[in-house]
Amino acid sequence: MKTIDLRKFNIIKEGIEFCVPDGNTEPGLDELLPTMERNEGAVYWLQPKGGTVEQQEACIRVNSMFYALSSKVEKAIFRSVRLTRNFRNYERLVDGTRRLVIPRRLFQEKLRTSRRVQQCRALLLYITSMIDLAHYLPQHAC
């Protein structure tokens, strides 16, 4: 996992710090994934100094080091977030600061999946209506 230099960022929202027994090694996915799954409280949200909400990054803190999330970890943590019709990928914290709900990369992937499902649903409805229409058309003898 890629380490993050905290000097370049402001912490927007703090999460939970994890400690792995062997503090000298980089944390492995096998150790963290079971505890990270659907655990949004573990995520730290960082914003580049002078940056915007759209530039925020989600990361985790393990043994006092900040690590960027891989796409696999993002999917595990934010699995419960569903894109609804009026979904906005930001929310206001208690102090009025805006933060992203899910990381941008995962948001884009969820949008692609949503569009693909909608297209498949529309195609299925079209095919079903054509089959129903063919069933009711009179049969012509040749």
Q: How far is CA 134 from CA 124, 129, 131, in A?
A: 15, 9, 5
Compute the CA torsion angle 103, 108, 114, 116 (nearest 10 deg). Answer: -150
* The predicted structure's pLDDT at residue 43: 94
More confident residue, 62 or 138: 62
Give tens-digit pLDDT for 79-137: 888 888 888 998 999 998 899 999 999 999 998 988 888 888 788 888 888 777 666 66
pLDDT digits (tens, 9 = 90+) for 6-39: 999 999 999 999 887 765 566 677 777 888 888 8
pTM score of the predicted model: 0.75
Buried b / exposed e over 20-29, threshold 16 CB at 10 Å, is: eeeeeeebee
Please give the pLDDT value at position 57: 94
Instruction: Show contacts of 5-12: CB within 8 Å, 24+ apart.
Output: 6/46, 6/66, 8/48, 8/49, 9/46, 9/47, 9/48, 9/49, 9/57, 10/46, 10/47, 10/48, 10/49, 11/44, 11/45, 11/46, 12/45, 12/46, 12/47, 12/56, 12/93, 12/97, 12/99
